[in-house]
């Protein structure tokens, strides 16, 4: 054991490190979001990672100061899992779990222990991903673990950390050479980038430590000051959170106005959408200020004092379960857009979690819905490629049977929900749903958020683009020809039913007009138009 041993991982130290890591992620979130491979609004990696870590910070804030190391680590693991959002968040939660399993063993945190923690985190994360892909955050993590092994006899822990983090940045820089889609889009891997930001931020959170940032990614970085407010016990009664959607949102000014109304204020997102969280005694005033700026959704106001009392009652076994519904199966669906929600409800889906593109729900959000179910089996329809892994965390967290039918879009989710029959057991429903989505082809029409060469299609920023099964197939200046092109491809092969879910923006109206015209071109095809109300996508299409 070297003399540079750190103290063991106490609550206050863990809080310090995580808060610093979180602050770093929060600062560079937009940069990470901008690394999307697809030039479409996507399940934003930066936001997802930041929210996942935020969940960890918040949970640790609630821990008693004198908790043994082992329990601190277990609590962090659990918080990471419950707060995990998006695929990157889920992978991060597995990385955290692996690391905490090593760090939770007694004894001081030495370079050797950190090396083993990174090694075990790597193994855990690779195992968690069904088909590990190189050039992602997995590669970055593995190469940091390898660098740690080589540097484990470094004379000082600062040098050790510096070498690990430098290796991380080098690995990030290398990701485009490992993954073609990154090279084509001219970006590095967002998850890997976020991981190094987090590790570096946490390392900087150690008092007096500063590690250099690799030249290419160097940015003027303010001192990594943990957000002290988050560490305070709240004196306020109402935990209030909501999603604010508008355009040109000014995060700083909102922050300024809301910070006078409470504490634990956290605002994440971008100029289109902000997730706001605050502890306050005046939830009405908070909503008033925010409501004047845009549309509010996912409003949650919890009485924390009441919650605490309720939790105590529940633990005492006093809470009665709701009566069992006659059905054998209930469905949880992740849906964006009021029209789309109505369609799901109309098919008997009664547990709906708000979310989708750019706002991926956490494992905890899904668990809350699962726990509202009264049927013995629950099927989750993630309806987004970036939510599937989050959903797959839930079956291990409850005694109820939870089956994930991995729907990658709202459209396939609807096709699955069509065959839902609550009288049948979960496994039967899941089987029929999988059969129903087999052969459904989906497409989206949206605007490119930046120029790119992707899937062999040259795209300019603000182009109308058409994607089929998540790949760009066409781009252009006008909505109509792009819609016609995409529909032509979808109907190739004799598909007889085209479903269109119209979004909120102006393009949706043009897309609807284009689809009406196409009825003449395809007289034998049933074209079924609905108001979906989803953001970002002018129209979501599916053919079957």
Structure tokens at 179: 């993954």
The only residue of 134, 250, 506, 528 in contact with another protein, by rule CB under 8 A: 528
Residue 65 DSSP one-character state? T
Rounded alpha-carbon distances, angstroms, from residue 30 to 46, 57, 175, 272, 460:
6, 20, 19, 12, 21
Q: Which of 16, 189, 392, 544 binds another protein (CB under 8 A)?
A: 544
Q: How far is the CB of 21 from another protein (least distance, A)?
A: 45
Region 497-516 residues binding another protein, contact defined as CB under 8 A: 497, 499
> For residues 377 and 499, which CB has a smaller minimum distance to another protein in the complex?
499
Which of 343/482 has CB closer to another protein? Answer: 343
| Among residues 5, 67, 418, 453, the one that binds another protein under rule CB under 8 A | 418
Pattern of binders to another protein over 421-440, x per CB under 8 A? xxx-----------------
CB of 400 to another protein, least distance (A): 22
For another protein, the binding residues in 249-268 under the rule CB under 8 A are: none
Which span (173-181, 269-277, 508-516, 523-531) binds another protein, by CB under 8 A?
523-531
328 binds another protein (CB under 8 A): no
Binds another protein (CB under 8 A): choice among 415, 429, 446, 452: 415
For another protein, give the closer residue by CB, 78 or 499. Answer: 499
CB 422, min distance to another protein, A: 7
What's the closest the beta carbon of residue 405 comes to another protein, in angstroms? 16
Rg of the chain, C-alpha, whole Å: 24
Helices 157-178 and 111-128, packing angle to 10 deg: 20
As a whole number of angstroms, the longest Cα–Cα distance in the chain is 80
Binding mask 329-348 for another protein (x = CB under 8 A): -------------xx--xxx
We find the least distance from the C-beta atom of residue 418 to another protein, in angstroms, to be 6
Class of residue 296 by CB neighbours under 10 A (exposed 0-12, middle 13-18, buried 19+): middle
What mask, x for binding another protein by CB under 8 A, covers residues 458 to 497? --------------------------------------xx
Task: Output DSSP code: residue 322.
Answer: P
Tell the smallest beta-carbon distance from residue 521 to another protein (Å): 17
Compute the least distance from the CB of residue 499 to another protein, in Å.
7
* Residue 477 phi, psi dihedral angles, 5° rounding: -80, -30
Q: Which of 414, 449, 465, 540 binds another protein (CB under 8 A)?
A: 414
For residue 206, the tally of other CB atoms under 10 A from its CB is 18
Q: Which residue number, 256 or 421, has a Cβ lying nearer to another protein? A: 421
Binding window for another protein (CB under 8 A); candidates: 66-74, 206-214, 219-227, 525-533: 525-533
Angle at 316 between CA 313 and CA 322, to 5 degrees: 65
CA distance 255 to 259: 6
**DSSP for 488-516?**
HHHHTTT--EEEEEE-SSHHHHHHHHHHH
453 counts as binding another protein under rule CB under 8 A = no
In the complex with another protein, the residue whose CB is nearer, 221 or 347, is: 347
In a 10 Å sphere around its CB, with 0-12 CB exposed, 13-18 middle and 19+ buried, how is residue 192 labelled? Answer: buried
Number of Cβ atoms within 10 Å of the Cβ of 470? 14
DSSP string, 403-452: EE----SHHHHHHHHHT--TTS-HHHHHHHHHHHHTT-EEEEEEE-SS-E
User: What is the bridge-based pairing of β-strands 273-280 and 238-245?
Assistant: antiparallel
Q: Which helix (H) or strand (E) covers residue 23, if one does? A: helix 11-33
CB of 171 to another protein, least distance (A): 47
Footprint on this chain of another protein (rule: CB under 8 A) = 342-343, 346-348, 414-415, 418-419, 421-423, 496-497, 499, 526, 528, 530, 544
């Amino acid at each position: 054991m070297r003399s540079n041993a750190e103290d063991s991982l106490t609550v206050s130290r863990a809080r310090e490190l995580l808060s610093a890591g979180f602050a770093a992620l929060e600062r560079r979130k937009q940069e990470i979001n901008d690394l999307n491979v697809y030039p479409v609004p996507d399940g934003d990696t930066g936001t997802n990672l930041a929210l996942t870590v935020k969940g960890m910070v918040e949970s640790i804030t609630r821990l008693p100061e004198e908790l043994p190391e082992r329990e601190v680590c277990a609590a962090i693991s659990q918080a990471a899992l419950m707060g995990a959002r998006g695929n990157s968040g889920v992978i991060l939660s597995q990385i955290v779990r692996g690391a905490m399993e090593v760090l939770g063993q007694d004894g001081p945190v030495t370079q050797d222990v950190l090396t083993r923690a990174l090694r075990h985190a790597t193994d855990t994360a690779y195992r968690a991903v069904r088909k590990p892909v190189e050039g992602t955050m997995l590669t970055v993590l593995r190469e940091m673990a390898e660098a740690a092994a080589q540097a484990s006899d470094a004379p000082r822990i600062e040098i050790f950390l510096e070498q690990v983090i430098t290796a991380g940045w080098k690995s990030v820089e290398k990701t485009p050479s490992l993954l073609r889609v990154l090279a084509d889009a001219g970006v590095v891997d967002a998850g890997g980038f976020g991981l190094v930001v987090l590790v570096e931020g946490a390392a900087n959170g150690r008092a007096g430590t500063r590690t250099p940032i690799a030249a290419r990614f160097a940015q003027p970085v303010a001192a990594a000051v943990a957000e002290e407010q988050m560490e305070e016990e709240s004196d306020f009664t109402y935990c209030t959170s909501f999603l604010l959607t508008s355009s040109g949102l000014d995060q700083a000014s909102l922050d300024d106005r809301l910070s006078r109304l409470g504490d634990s204020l956290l605002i994440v997102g971008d100029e289109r959408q902000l997730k706001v969280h605050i502890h306050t005694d005046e939830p009405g005033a908070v909503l008033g200020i925010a409501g004047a700026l845009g549309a509010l959704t996912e409003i949650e106001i919890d009485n924390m004092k009441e919650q605490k009392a309720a939790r105590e009652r529940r633990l005492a076994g006093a809470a009665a379960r709701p009566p069992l519904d006659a059905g054998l199966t209930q469905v949880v669906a992740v849906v964006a857009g009021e029209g789309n929600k109505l369609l799901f409800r109309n098919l008997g889906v009664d547990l709906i979690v708000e979310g989708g593109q750019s706002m991926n729900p956490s494992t905890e959000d899904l668990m809350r819905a699962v726990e509202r179910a009264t049927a013995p089996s629950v099927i989750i329809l993630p309806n987004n490629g970036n939510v599937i892994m989050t959903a797959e965390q839930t079956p291990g967290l409850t005694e109820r049977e939870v089956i994930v039918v991995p729907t990658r879009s709202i459209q396939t989710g609807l096709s699955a929900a069509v065959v839902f029959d609550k009288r049948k057991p979960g496994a039967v429903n899941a089987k029929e749903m999988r059969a129903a989505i087999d052969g459904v082809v989906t497409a989206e029409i949206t605007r490119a958020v930046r120029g790119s060469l992707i899937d062999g299609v040259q795209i300019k920023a603000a182009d109308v683009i058409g994607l089929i099964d998540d790949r760009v197939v066409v781009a252009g200046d006008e909505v109509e020809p792009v819609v016609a092109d995409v529909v032509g491809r979808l109907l190739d092969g004799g598909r007889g039913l085209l479903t269109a879910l119209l979004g909120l923006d102006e393009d949706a109206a043009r897309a609807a007009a284009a689809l009406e015209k196409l009825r003449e071109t395809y007289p034998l095809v049933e074209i079924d138009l609905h108001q979906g109300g989803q953001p970002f996508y002018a129209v979501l299409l599916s053919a079957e």
